[in-house]
């Protein structure tokens, strides 16, 4: 197989983070609903009105609901938060009136992240209100825990994340991708961490195809082809000097 054919083969097999997250979502019976600022979300895992039994369950878990004088309603996680020097904990959801109606409702999703240390895609809790939402992971995890205990209709992924103490993982082997790796990690292996290779990779005269695609992944069965391609490209580069 010549260099052009190998390039074409690898280009057809390269996968993005979005590709991987879509496969993981599909594996657990969900869809990839949106990608916003690098955050990949599953389809909705349930909407819960902050009232009745659900509100009581939240209060039992040390959440408070306050109706402020400015018309804003605030749900706050009153539990101990992770404190990061220089940062204020983000543990509240604010709700305002829209079109004459104030919707006190929480929508649950899972965000998907590549985690090579866990060899797969990790699903993490995401909880959105209708105006301002908590950003910290711990309050969102606590809402998942409340839903898992409170609702007999809780989505299985909500329960899995609660059981998993804040996350659940779809492993590479479960979606037929055992051994998949990021291309830039493969290049580091190819160059044996030689800084000269890294310098050449980042230069305008780099001969190495695909080596600058840091967000790309390649299944294991095609990795030897990529190594062979880089070896041939390096050989041609040396000859041209």
**Percentage above 90 pLDDT, the chain:** 64
Confidence (pLDDT) at 127: 96
Q: Are 134 and 77 in contact (CB under 8 A)?
A: yes
- Please state, rounded to an integer, the average pLDDT across all residues of the chain: 90
Domain map of the chain by residue range? 21-175, 179-240
156-197 pLDDT, tens per residue?
A: 999 999 999 999 999 999 999 999 999 989 988 888 767 777
Q: Specify the pTM.
A: 0.87
Share of the chain above pLDDT 70, in %: 97
């Amino acid at each position: 197989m010549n260099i052009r054919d190998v390039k074409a083969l690898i280009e057809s097999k390269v996968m993005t983070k979005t590709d991987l997250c879509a496969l993981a979502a599909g594996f657990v019976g969900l869809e990839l609903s949106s990608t916003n600022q690098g955050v990949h979300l599953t389809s909705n895992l349930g909407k819960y009105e902050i009232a009745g039994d659900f509100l009581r369950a939240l209060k039992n878990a040390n959440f408070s609901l306050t109706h402020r004088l400015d018309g804003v309603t605030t749900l706050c996680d009153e539990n101990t938060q992770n404190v990061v020097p220089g940062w204020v904990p983000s543990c509240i959801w604010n709700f305002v009136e829209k079109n004459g109606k104030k919707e006190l409702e929480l929508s649950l999703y899972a965000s998907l992240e590549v985690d090579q240390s866990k060899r797969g895609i990790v699903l993490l809790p995401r909880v959105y209100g209708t105006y301002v939402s908590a950003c910290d992971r711990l309050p969102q995890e606590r809402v998942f825990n409340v839903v898992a205990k409170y609702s007999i209709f809780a989505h299985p992924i909500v329960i899995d994340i609660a059981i998993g103490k804040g996350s659940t993982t779809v492993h590479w082997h479960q979606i037929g991708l055992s051994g998949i790796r990021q291309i830039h990690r493969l290049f580091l292996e190819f160059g044996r961490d030689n800084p000269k290779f890294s310098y050449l990779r980042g230069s305008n005269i780099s001969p190495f195809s695909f080596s600058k695609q840091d967000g790309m992944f390649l299944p294991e069965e095609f990795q030897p082809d990529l190594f062979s391609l880089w070896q041939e490209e390096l050989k041609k580069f040396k000859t041209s000097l």
